[in-house]
């Protein structure tokens, strides 16, 4: 869980210093709400793990996934919401299929959730949606599905693979924040190339 806490801390700093303006724009919120949310996830994950039969979770991890799903219904077009959900399920399903193939090939590392899958999922979610909100949500859904599926047959823990969930979400978040900032600056200082890059960034973007 240490990796996830570090990533949440870094994302919080990005929001505070103003790097994540493009993501906040897609979320339609000010900087304070996601900062409070990330800090709550960090703090609540220090509470001891709760076990319920063959299921276990940390309060902070549960809060994170619940809020991510709730973000679907705060605003937005139904078509965009369902598209983002489908993207997350497809990416998670493909990653799980990759783990099964890896196990058949004798690779234990790629036979379960790990940072490589997370980086790929976060990157693909960004390029497919080019939306700060939906890339973050799709990444979380994909990793949650992958993390749950690889645990079939044993105890199910919501905390399993949460570090890699945050790697995926952090990748999508950071790529959108940085590229959004770059395109905005280029559009301001370079009329032709900047507008062209901004158009490429916006073309085919999943939006509400």
pTM to 2 decimals? Answer: 0.91
| Average pLDDT across the chain, whole number | 90
Give the per-residue pLDDT at 180.
81
Higher pLDDT, 22 or 99: 99
User: Is the pLDDT at 19 greater than 60, yes or no?
Assistant: yes
The Cα–Cα gap between 115 and 32 comes to 29
CA gap 132, 175 in Å, rounded: 9
For residue 192, pLDDT over 80 is answered with: no
Whether the Cβ atoms of residue 96 and residue 146 lie closer than 8 Å to each other: yes
Model confidence at 79: pLDDT above 70:
yes
DSSP classification of residue 112: S
> In this predicted structure, what is the pLDDT of residue 82?
92
* 203 confidence band (pLDDT: 50, 70, 90): low
Residue 151 main-chain phi, psi, to 5 deg: -95, 0
Locate the domains of the chain by residue range: 2-202
Statement: residue 103 has pLDDT above 70: yes
Q: How far is CA 161 from each of CA 80, 116, 146, rounded to the nearest angstrom?
A: 27, 12, 9
pLDDT at 196: 58
pLDDT band at 197 (very low <50, low <70, confident <90, very high): low
**What number is the average pLDDT over the span 31-48?**
95
pLDDT above 90 (res 129) = yes
Phi, psi of 28 (to 5 degrees): 55, 50
Mean pLDDT for the stretch of residues 25-39: 92
């Amino acid at each position: 869980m240490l990796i996830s806490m570090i990533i949440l801390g870094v994302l919080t700093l990005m929001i505070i210093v103003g790097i994540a303006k493009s993501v906040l724009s897609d979320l339609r919120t000010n900087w304070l709400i996601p900062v409070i949310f990330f800090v709550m996830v960090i703090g609540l994950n220090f509470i001891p793990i709760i076990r319920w039969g063959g299921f276990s979770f940390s309060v902070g991890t549960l809060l994170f996934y619940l809020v991510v799903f709730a973000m679907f219904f705060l605003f937005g077009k139904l078509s965009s919401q369902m598209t983002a959900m489908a993207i997350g399920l497809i990416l998670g399903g493909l990653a799980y299929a990759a783990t099964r193939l890896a196990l058949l090939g004798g690779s234990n590392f790629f036979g379960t959730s790990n940072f490589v899958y997370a980086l790929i999922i976060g990157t693909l979610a960004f390029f497919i949606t080019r939306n700060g909100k939906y890339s973050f949500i799709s990444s979380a859904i994909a990793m949650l599905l992958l993390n749950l599926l690889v645990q079939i047959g044993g105890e199910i823990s919501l905390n399993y693979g949460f570090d890699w969930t945050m790697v995926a979400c952090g990748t999508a978040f950071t790529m959108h924040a940085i590229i959004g900032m770059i395109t905005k600056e280029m559009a301001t200082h370079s009329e032709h190339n900047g507008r062209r890059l901004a158009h490429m960034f916006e073309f085919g973007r999943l939006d509400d």
